[in-house]
Amino acid sequence: MIFHPARIGLLNKRALIRQLRKDGVASRAGLARALGMSQPTAGKIVDELLTQEILEEVEGAEANGDHATRLGRPGRQLQLNRSQPSFLGIQLGVSETRLAELPLGACDENDWHFSFHHDAAAANPAAAWEKQLRNVAKQLRSRKFLGVVLSVPGIVDESARRILFSPNIHWSESADLCAAIGKVWDAPVLLVQEERALALGYLTLHPDQEDFLLADFGEGVGGAVIFGGKPLMHPLPISGEFGHTPVLGNHRRCGCGAVGCVETLLSTSGLLKSFAAAHPRQTASWAALQKQLAENGVEPWLAQSLDAAAVALAAALNVLGLRRVVVTGNLTDLPPTVLEYFSGAIRGGAMWARFGEVECVSAPRNRTAGLVAVGIDRLILPEAEPKLSRGKNAATKLVK
């Protein structure tokens, strides 16, 4: 295969940025060694990225892998730009929207600067949402961004910037949220499915873990798959929806229209509903649930729900050929015995566990890091996405 020089330059820039994500701070020489580049090549890339304000120079000690002892003042080090926000990140939740001004190099998941609740009683929820965005825009420090990255739940056609189906936010299906954002901010707008954003956030913070299935539990239940350091691509704009796997004997109606989905058991509201049914004399609060499980361990009602989710995840591991599950969301807030039980149940159904190791780890959410990763990949260093004509046709059929 012959690569065009421009293509090689793009790949080198991507590799250098990925190395800086991993190291945090590094020298030019350290980056050249880590990437196997000549110092002139690495230096040329660095100079271009500095000119574009993607990188910035800082004073500091030698970075990872560059420990040679030197006399005098420490040399100038490089990092992704942390001095100014490059992207506006927006998270569309079930009842609340959060916003954050995001620099390229610093992504603290707790640093959402603004939020507002959706006006569920509005005659036109999308118009009310846009109006609230305008109110927030007046309070932001920055007026210009390289792009706006919107994280949304549901079945999402990211290339067409369309929400095809959203079980818990049905009003968003008929709304052109990207167009609404474009009326408020003069910048490109990207749409990303929220589980993919979470998975990319985990990958950003753990760049050595390039193959995993992320399972998130919160207002809904869903997942995303990372293969070879990239989100798994499909002909259809759908993946990781294990939360909508039906559970025999479960008669709860799900927001997707089906009956018995895993999500109705292990979403935050589902857990509290099951807890209330098992302990009718107790107040069904999250704190009460945590206390009950801390004192009594995994109770039968919870074990049944965890087993159901574990079957779906183990089946996914077997089909996809993966051996690592990353759990984020509300299950990580429960006593450790819950995740221990859940991990054991997943391993019990995973074929690879018969003769190899299947890893189940918990991690905090870091959606903001994922939104920045999406912005870098699609706006700063864009790479043409494969044309999936079958997916486009299938998506059209889905919404007819």
* Contact assessment for residue 288 and residue 274, using Cβ atoms and an 8 Å cutoff: no
3-state secondary structure the chain: CCCCHHHHHHHHHHHHHHHHHHHCCECHHHHHHHHCCCHHHHHHHHHHHHHCCCEEEEECCCCCCCCCCCCCCCCEEEEECCCCCCEEEEEECCCEEEEEEECCCCCCCCCCCEEEECCCCCCCHHHHHHHHHHHHHCCCCCCCCCEEEEEECCEEECCCCEEEECCCCHHHHHCCHHHHHHHHCCCCEEEEEHHHHHHHHHHHHCCCCCCEEEEEECCCEEEEEEECCEECCCCCCCCCCHHHCECCCCCCECCCCCECECHHHHCHHHHHHHHHHHCCCCCCCHHHHHHHHHHHCCCHHHHHHHHHHHHHHHHHHHHHCCCEEEEEEHHHHCCHHHHHHHHHHHHHHCHHHHCCCCEEEECCCCHHHHHHHHHHHHHHCCCCCCCCHHHHHHHHHHHC
Integer Cα distance of 272 and 217 in angstroms: 13
pLDDT at 386: 40
CB-neighbour burial class of residue 317 (10 A; exposed 0-12, middle 13-18, buried 19+): buried
Integer Cα distance of 25 and 126 in angstroms: 42
pLDDT in tens, 238-279: 889 999 999 999 999 999 999 999 999 999 999 999 999 999
Lookup result for tokens 């609404």: 180
Half-sphere exposure of 326 (CA within 13 A, CB side): 25
Lowest mean pLDDT among 18-22, 301-305, 354-358: 18-22
Lookup result for tokens 């009594």: 296
Domain extents for the chain? 5-80, 87-197+368-399, 209-362
pLDDT at 267: 97
- Whether domain 87-197+368-399 has CATH 3.40.50.720: the reply is no
pLDDT in tens, 106-149: 776 777 889 999 987 899 999 999 999 999 999 988 878 999 99
Matching fold, domains 87-197+368-399 and 209-362: yes
Identify the band that residue 207 occupies on the pLDDT scale cut at 50, 70 and 90. confident
pLDDT at 388: 35
Q: Which residue type does 221 have?
A: V
* Contact assessment for residue 58 and residue 108, using Cβ atoms and an 8 Å cutoff: no
As a CATH number, domain 209-362 is 3.30.420.40
Distant-in-sequence, close-in-space partners of 51: CB < 8 Å, separation ≥ 6: none
Q: Which residue type does 59 have?
A: E
Sequence length of the chain is: 400
pLDDT in tens, 44-100: 999 999 998 899 998 864 434 344 444 444 568 999 999 888 999 999 999 999 999
pLDDT for residue 385 is more than 80: no
pLDDT for residue 374 is more than 80: yes
Give the CA-trace dihedral at 286, 291, 297, 299, to 10 degrees: -50
Lookup result for tokens 């049944």: 304
Tokens describing residue 159 = 């290339």
pLDDT at 259: 97
* Contact assessment for residue 55 and residue 79, using Cβ atoms and an 8 Å cutoff: yes
Architecture of domain 5-80: Orthogonal Bundle (1.10)
Integer Cα distance of 398 and 88 in angstroms: 30
Identify the band that residue 4 occupies on the pLDDT scale cut at 50, 70 and 90. low
3-state secondary structure 314-368: HHHHHHHCCCEEEEEEHHHHCCHHHHHHHHHHHHHHCHHHHCCCCEEEECCCCHH
Per-range mean pLDDT, top range of 73-87, 330-344, 370-384:
330-344
* Contact assessment for residue 97 and residue 151, using Cβ atoms and an 8 Å cutoff: no
pLDDT at 109: 73
